[in-house]
Amino acid sequence: MDSPRGRIHLLRGLREGEIALTPAVARHFDRCLGCMACVTACPSGVRYDTLIERARVAVERGPRRALVDRLHRAALFALLPYPRRLRALLVALWVYARTGLRRLVRRSGLWGRLPARLAQLEALAPDVQWRDLVRAVPAPAAAQGTPRARVALVTGCVQGTFFPNVNQATVRVLAAEGCDVKVPRGQGCCGALSLHTGREGEARTFVRRLIARLEAEPVDFVVVNAAGCGSHLKTCASLFTGEEDWAARATAFAARVRDVSELLASLGPVAPRHPVRARVAYHDACHLGHAQGIRTAPRALLRTIPELDVLEIPDGEQCCGSAGAYSLLEPSAADEIGARKAGHVLAVEPDVIAAANSGCLLQIQKHLRARGASLPAFHPVEILDASLRGQWPPGPSGIEPGKT
Ligand code: SF4
């Protein structure tokens, strides 16, 4: 029942009234990563992605979850999609790391005695640098040289708060490659995390707000640098079935959405690159590779950098176990998958890891640490930015190897 076919059989059984949506049935849907590897592997073109999305909504509306589960989910979703609350958490994490409290807690083994989901929150928390506390939303930037496109950047909630360096690098790279970049303020969450956990109403509210904020911008493209947000924004019209006006607005909006690597690859490189002598293991984030079908563009971009060695991770089509909020909701399965991914990463002996999703990088680093290894991790656009500026390695990132 925990395979794509098994879940499709369950869905058919539910639709035909042969089975009920009991907690046991719901668990089989909860255990799905939503990695979409089965969608790209399916020879018959079955759209499991839309099926699991509907199933998750039904599960959220179905029988009440256990109290602990409800409280955990409520706490996560009272925090994650809200940039101001995330900012308070950022400060708390900085204090936790910098005062030596984290070292003390990890050495004491205290987290090991806590429930797995709480321990997971601590283990995946990024290593916040003081610069992250003062880094603001990046300023807009004018195209260098002949303007080739006008774009607006989606800043993201978790991305914008915990990994502001990725947004800063994105703006610099786009401008260097001839884009006029706008960074509209007050965007909030796009609703991707909510949708991927079946919280459809919440996702609709968030994406409506984002569309209303960005649709009037006089730009050619809306650029996203987080894989999960990009895949959601490209398909957000499906949330507005029966709402003609919003479906039309969402369709028009989605038509302008591009992943940053997708846009840069289509424009072609013009800015001069400096060599980067490093071996980078590129990890395909599932919502970029499987959900958006973008595999070539990020590799092609990295290969425009002289002397950079781009390495293929064995079994690269497999998820790392991060999968949106999955690692926070299903820690033991996520750990098993993450440990395997870390092993595959180490097998190619890289100097750094790259992925277009910060959650993937945090997850892989957690499992590298568990093996006593440590590698810097970057979004591909940070590596390209470092090459354009002739500054390798990139500045301190929120995705630093965890220190103990
Ligand atoms: S875990 Fe991934 S491959 Fe397996 S059913 Fe879910 S989406 Fe498909």
- Confidence class for position 303, pLDDT limits 50, 70, 90: very high
Those residues whose C-beta lies under 8 Å from the C-beta of residue 385, and which sit 6 or more positions away, are 169, 172, 173, 394
**What is the predicted pLDDT for the residue at 316?**
95
**What is the predicted pLDDT for the residue at 402?**
40
* Integer Cα distance of 359 and 370 in angstroms: 17
Closest ligand 1 atom to Cα of 286: 2
Q: Cα of 363 to ligand 1 centre, how many Å?
A: 18
pLDDT single digits (tens) 71-83: 999 999 999 999 9
The pair of three-digit structure tokens given for residue 57, joined into one six-digit string = 């909504």
Those residues whose C-beta lies under 8 Å from the C-beta of residue 94, and which sit 6 or more positions away, are 128, 129, 130, 132, 133
Name 182's bridge partners: 152
- Confidence class for position 28, pLDDT limits 50, 70, 90: very high
Count the neighbouring beta carbons within 10 Å of the beta carbon of residue 235.
Answer: 18
**What is the predicted pLDDT for the residue at 394?**
85
Closest ligand 1 atom to Cα of 33: 1
Q: Cα of 4 to ligand 1 centre, how many Å?
A: 6
> Which of 10, 29, 32, 327 maximizes ligand 1 atoms within 8 Å of its Cβ, making it the mutation to test the pocket?
32
pLDDT single digits (tens) 106-164: 788 777 788 888 888 888 888 888 777 876 789 999 999 999 999 999 999 988 888 89
* Integer Cα distance of 78 and 86 in angstroms: 10
DSSP string for 343-386: HHHHHT--SEEE-S-HHHHHHHHHHHHHTT----EE-HHHHHHH
Q: Which residues sit with their C-beta closer than 6 Å to ligand 1?
A: 4, 7, 32-38, 48
Tell the residue nearest (CA) to atom 2 of ligand 1.
35
Q: Cα of 34 to ligand 1 centre, how many Å?
A: 5
Closest ligand 1 atom to Cα of 41: 3
Q: Cα of 62 to ligand 1 centre, how many Å?
A: 21
| 379 φ/ψ angles, rounded to the nearest 5 degrees | -70, 145
Tell the residue nearest (CA) to atom 8 of ligand 1.
38
**What is the predicted pLDDT for the residue at 266?**
97
> Which of 5, 28, 36 maximizes ligand 1 atoms within 8 Å of its Cβ, making it the mutation to test the pocket?
36
Sheet of strand 377-378, all strands in order from the earlier edge strand to the far edge: 308-312, 278-282, 352-354, 377-378
**What is the predicted pLDDT for the residue at 122?**
84
Cβ-count burial of 245 within 10 angstroms (0-12 exposed, 13-18 middle, 19+ buried)? Answer: exposed
**What is the predicted pLDDT for the residue at 396?**
58
Tell the residue nearest (CA) to atom 5 of ligand 1.
4
DSSP state of 154: -
Task: Please answer whether residues 260 and 229 qualify as being in contact, where contact means their C-beta atoms are separated by less than 8 angstroms.
Answer: no
DSSP string for 245-302: HHHHHHHHHHHTEEEHHHHHHHH---SPPPP--EEEEE---HHHHTTT---HHHHHHH
Distance between first and last Cα of the chain: 39
**What is the predicted pLDDT for the residue at 123?**
85
DSSP string for 189-205: --SHHHHHTT-HHHHHH
Q: What's the average model confidence in pLDDT over 260-274?
A: 97
**What is the predicted pLDDT for the residue at 103?**
84
- CA 287, distance to chain mean position in Å, is 8
Return mean pLDDT, the chain: 93
Those residues whose C-beta lies under 8 Å from the C-beta of residue 95, and which sit 6 or more positions away, are 101
Q: Cα of 343 to ligand 1 centre, how many Å?
A: 21
**Interaxial angle between packed helices 48-61 and 4-15, expressed in degrees from 0 to 180 and rounded to the nearest 10:** 60
Those residues whose C-beta lies under 8 Å from the C-beta of residue 48, and which sit 6 or more positions away, are 4, 7, 8, 36, 38, 39, 42
Tell the residue nearest (CA) to atom 6 of ligand 1.
32
DSSP state of 402: P
Closest ligand 1 atom to Cα of 2: 5
Proportion of the chain above pLDDT 70, given as a percent: 97
Residues, the chain, total?
404
Task: Please answer whether residues 162 and 80 qualify as being in contact, where contact means their C-beta atoms are separated by less than 8 angstroms.
Answer: no
Q: What's the average model confidence in pLDDT over 90-97?
A: 90
Closest ligand 1 atom to Cα of 34: 7
The pair of three-digit structure tokens given for residue 295, joined into one six-digit string = 């595999």
**What is the predicted pLDDT for the residue at 401?**
41
Name 310's bridge partners: 280
* Integer Cα distance of 387 and 303 in angstroms: 11
DSSP string for 300-330: HHHTTSTTEEEEEPTTTTS--S-TTTHHHHS
- Output the pTM of the full model: 0.93
**What is the predicted pLDDT for the residue at 242?**
93
- From the DSSP assignment, how many helices (H) and strands (E) are in the chain? 22, 8
Q: What's the average model confidence in pLDDT over 4-26?
A: 95
**What is the predicted pLDDT for the residue at 403?**
38
Asked whether residue 68 carries a pLDDT value surpassing 50, the answer given is yes
* Cis before 23? omega within 30: no
Q: Look at residue 149 and give its three-state secondary structure.
A: strand
- CA 372, distance to chain mean position in Å, is 25
- Confidence class for position 399, pLDDT limits 50, 70, 90: very low
